[in-house]
A and B are shown apart, each in its own frame.
Chain A
Amino acid sequence: MTITEKILARASGNDKVSSGDVIFANVDKVMLHDVSGPGVMTIFNDLEKKGRKIEKIWDPSRVWVSEDHFVPSVDKLAAQNIVLVQNFVKKFGIEKHFKYGLGQYGICHTLSHEEALVLPGEVYVGGDSHTNTTGAIGAFATGMGHTDVAYVLLNGKIWFRVPETILFKMEGNIPDYLMAKDVILNIIADHGTDIGNYKTIQFNGSAISNMPMDERFTLTNMTTEAGAKNGIIEPDQTTIDYVNERSNATFTPVFGDSDAEFTDVHTYDVEKMEPIVAKPFSPANRAIVRELGSIPIDKAYIGSCTGAKYTDLVEAAKIIKGNKVKARTEVLPAAQSIYRRALKDGLISIFMDAGAVVGPPTCGACCGAHMGVLAKDEVCVSTTNRNFPGRMGHIGSKTYLASPKVVAASAITGVITDPRDVR
Chain B
Amino acid sequence: MKAIVHKYEMDNIDTDVIIPGPYLKIMDPDELAKHAMEGLDKDFVGKVNRGDFVVAGENFGCGSSREHAPIALKHAGITAVLALSFARIFYRNSVDGAHLLPIEIDRDAYENISDKDQLEVDINKGEVNNLTKNKIYKMKPFPELIRKIIDVGGLLNYTP
Contacts and interface: CB of A to CB of B under 8 A. Distances in A.
Interface stretch (B72-80, B83-91, B108-116): B83-91
A197 interface: yes
B51 interface: no
A251 interface: no
The size bracket of the interface on A is 35 or more
B67 A145 contact: yes
Given A35-B24, A368-B21, A386 B63 contact: yes
Contacts of A150: 156
Given A70-B25, A148-B96, A151-B156, A390 B16 contact: yes
A24 B145 CA distance: 11
Interface in B1-30: 12, 14, 16-17, 20-22, 24-27
B97 interface: yes
Given A22-B143, A151-B155, A389 B87 contact: no
A38 B25 CA distance: 8
B16 A145 contact: no
Contact of A368 (B22, B25, B27): B22
B126 interface: no
A154 B157 CA distance: 12
A81 B25 contact: yes
B21 A367 contact: yes
Interface stretch (A39-47, A55-63, A263-271, A344-352): A39-47
A391 B16 contact: yes
A148 B59 contact: no
B20 A368 contact: yes
A369 B21 contact: yes
A231 interface: no
Interface in A138-161: 143-148, 150-151, 154, 159, 161
B87 A147 contact: no
A197 B59 contact: yes
Given A147-B97, A369-B25, A389-B39, 18 more contacts: A22-B143, A36-B65, A47-B156, A70-B24, A78-B25, A129-B64, A129-B89, A143-B89, A147-B155, A148-B96, A161-B143, A227-B87, A367-B24, A369-B21, A369-B24, A389-B17, A391-B16, A391-B21
